[in-house]
Amino acid sequence: MLNRSTRFLPAPGEPRVDRTPPEARTSRRRLRACHECDWLSALPPLRPGQKADCPRCGHTLVTRHYRPAQRSMALAMAAMVALLLAISFPFVSFSVGGFGNRIELSQTATTLIGFHQPLVAIAVILTIAVLPGVYLLGVIWLQLGLLQGRPLPASRSIARSLAHLNPWMMADVFIIGALVSLIKVAGLAQIELGISFWAFCAFALLLLFTTQSIDSDWMWFSLAGEPQAPEGARTGTTAASQGLTGCSTCGLVNRFDAAGHSHCRRCGERLHVRLPHSLQRTWALLAAATVMYIPANVYPIMTTTTLGHSSPSTIIGGVVELLQMGSWPVAAVIFVASVVVPVGKLVALAWLCLVVARSSELNANSRTRLYRITEFIGRWSMVDVFVVAILVALIRAGSLMSVTPGPAALAFGAVVVLTMLAAMTFDPRMIWDTPLPRDNRKTQGIPG
């Protein structure tokens, strides 16, 4: 009978990474500190399709995939081909009264520059094409080296960058924005979808599958192995209480030096017991987002010109207009993405900052779930910005029909970015730090 150490040995000429998961290549304990509650756990052996969750808060620590290198490589290459097709052919066209216009994907950003909105244009092109393209090239580079059995140059730096790029890729959000835009125009003009539109839809799906296929634990083990766990580390308690912390990039558990500073031994990422000045930074970003949300709703986000008559439209005004047109589903999407999500995120993060010092084991789980939801939904508010970018590029028929961006577009884009940064700077581990029973709070003079 084959033992665990020999069962996964590769056949001659077969890439070693294909059949040597971390569980088969080390006999040491593989420790992980949860990024959301700081609970220190030992990873169990995992088979393809299995995952390991934190026993304290339920956060997924590791997800194992079948043939992760080939899987990610194939998806990334397919997504890259779809992206090249999407930027090479017409995206969508419209015609009305003998006038029409046809645009390519890149024009959704470049047209904004002509209307003195360079920051919005940069945000659009970065989130829908540039950053996803860089991400896919990085995945291909990494997996190519791992399949060859020898990582290519700069692999560790590229692997560190992938996790930081992930939140800012919004191809799937852009698809929703495109559908909303086309529904708004369909009642006024004839719409024709180009090859680029369908290629971009395929690209958005493939990009999503690619990000989900990345097995970070396996990838870092294949790139750099796994140094031995710090001596004396105990599972079943928090890492911070033992002078340890888990790397947010590669997951390795590290010990801090005497000054409380450290870098990850495996990937080089700077480590912190808790994110420095987390509450102060979150409050500052929330305050800035709140200030920007006022002009985002007061000023028009776009101005529509029809037969020489100009009609400015605010975010709420656009929702009301869609309701009057009978487009209830589209109005609901815009209202949720542009009103409910930003306001809900501001309120949720502010509430978490206020109550973080008064958490207990009974409510820490629910507050952590609220944080997860808040972090996940923030990027979907970009739908309205993408709608403006598409309509401005597409509807250009002079005085007959045209759309120009309003000052609220930049303000609302700033709200989205600031709330996303606020969620990133908030450290959810603080929710679980030294939770005290209510009776103990009263005896120690802590308000309940």
Distances (CA, A) of 264 to 29, 244, 291, 438: 18, 11, 38, 37
pLDDT number for residue 198: 95
* Alpha-carbon span 448 to 440, nearest angstrom: 10
Give pairs for 318-322: CB < 8 Å, separation 24+. Answer: 322/184
Residues 6+ apart with CB under 8 A from 360: 435, 436, 437, 438
- Longest Cα–Cα distance in the chain: 83
pLDDT number for residue 409: 92
End-to-end Cα spacing for the chain: 60
Of 214, 167, 166, 174, nearest to 86 by C-alpha is 174
Low-confidence ranges of the chain (pLDDT < 50): 1-19, 436-448
Give pairs for 409-412: CB < 8 Å, separation 24+. Answer: 409/117, 409/120, 409/301, 409/302, 409/385, 410/117, 410/119, 410/120, 411/292, 411/293, 411/295, 411/296, 411/299, 412/292, 412/293, 412/296, 412/301, 412/315, 412/338, 412/381, 412/384, 412/385
pLDDT number for residue 322: 78
Domains of the chain, each with CATH number or no CATH = 275-433 (1.20.140)
Token digits of residue 211: 């990000």
pLDDT number for residue 27: 55
pLDDT number for residue 288: 97
Question: 28-40 burial string, b = 16+ CB within 10 Å, else e?
Answer: eebbbbbbbbbbb
Of 289, 431, 278, 419, nearest to 345 by C-alpha is 419
pLDDT number for residue 98: 66
Of 165, 131, 158, 132, nearest to 143 by C-alpha is 158
